[in-house]
Structure formats: structure tokens, C-alpha cells
Amino acid sequence: MTPNETRFRVRYAETDQMGVVYYSNYLVWMEIGRVEWCKQQGCSYREMEGEDGILLAVAECQCRYLAPARFDDEIVVKTWVEQANPRLVTFAYDLQLAASNRKLASGFTRHLILDREFRRTRLPKKYFPMFGLGS
């Protein structure tokens, strides 16, 4: 699938005493990319959760840090579905500096499909095209 690009600037509050982005913020940025990816596909987390009772629960995540980001850097998060089936979706991410395309980090998040009672369930068929699944 074609990656979605999300852009934003590093806020001062996201940096640590050394003046670089604190490591946990990269996971937050992946979430921003994932939510925007869904919007680009014509859907929202709110719709999946509220209307369909579907929750995408993070079961695993990984982030490999390659270079630091600093206050006011413009960041690009590229997000795409790496793998999907009706019970599990894996999103992949590349994070880079907008000005130079220098890669800052890469990673993935793996999500279980749950219902409102936090039981494993299947993705409704209406979402199959969004995640690249056949009917």
C-alpha cells in the first residue's frame, strides 16, 4: 500500500534535557501517522470504535532510533499497512526530517482486532478494502 505522509513540527515539550526529542514521543508520532492514515482511507478511529465497536489494540511495537530530532524540526511520518488479516493489522512507519529526508526512526505497531468487551474478533468486511484484504 502507498504510504500516507503526516507532517508536523517538534514542540519544545517533546524534547529532553539534551535538547533532543524524548524517545517515547516517536511512538506518539506513529499513532498520529496511523490515525491520519485511517482518515486518508476515508475512515476514522472514532467511527470504527463508536459505530462498529471495533478496537485496534496495540499488541506489539518496535522502534529503531537512527538520528535525533530537535525542537522545531519539521517531521514527516510515513505510515502504511505492512500486513493485515481479519484479526490482526501491522502498521509500519518511517520518520524523517522534512528538510533533508534524513531518516530518524523506523518501526511498526501490531494491533489485535477487539470488540467493546476486549475480546478478539474479526474486522468487519466493510474495512477489508481499507486494509488491502480480499472479500
For the sheet with 103-114, list strands across it. 4-9, 74-85, 88-97, 103-114, 55-65
Q: Which of 68, 129, 74 lies closest to 97, judged by CA?
A: 74
Tell me which amino acid residue 31 is: E
Residue pair 67/106 in contact (Cβ under 8 Å)? The answer is no
108-129 CB burial, b ≥16 within 10 A, e <16: bbbbbbbeeeeeebebeeebee
16 is catalytic: yes
Q: Where are the alpha helices (DSSP H) in 7-129?
A: 25-40, 45-52
- Tell me which of 16, 72, 73, 115 is the catalytic residue: 16
| Residues with catalytic function | 16
